[in-house]
Amino acid sequence: MKSFMDKDFLLQTETAKKLYQDYAAIMPIYDYHCHLSPQEIYENRAYNNMTELWLKGDHYKWRAMRANGIDEYYITGEVDDYEKFEKWAETVEKLIGNPLYHWTHMELRQYFGVETVLKKDTARIIWDQCNEKLQITIEVG
């Protein structure tokens, strides 16, 4: 059985695979609609954890969490960052069919090497794995 979101995700023909893997994949990404602060990018900010990086300013994720019935306290409140991440993981479980589901897993795979599906039961493992990589970046950076 084909693995979830492998390197050929959405590529259905051999031509599509060749064009993407031999040409597009090596090109830089210009994302004019990202949710990272341009100032933080300019300053080469090091993020302490996945909530700071991923959830702090992403209103799309916030909207999905609100639609899932997550209390605002866990979205923009003063709760512990892991608890916010765990509430995001609970929300992701219900997003199948929504682009946020795929974007979440594409980012986890591409930037953190995580191939595990994010859900409440896997949140702690993924949190630890990603944060470990963020700390390596801080130490090297």
Look at residue 140 in the predicted model and tell me its pLDDT. Answer: 58
Q: How far apart are CA 130 and CA 120, in angstroms?
A: 15
- Give the model confidence (pLDDT) of 29-59 as tens digits: 776 667 777 888 889 888 999 999 999 989 9
Domains of the chain: 46-140 (1.10.2020.10)
* pLDDT tens-digit series, residues 53-105: 999 989 999 999 999 999 999 999 999 999 999 999 999 999 999 999 999 99
Q: What is the mean pLDDT of residues 110-126?
A: 95
Q: pTM of the predicted model, to two decimals? A: 0.81
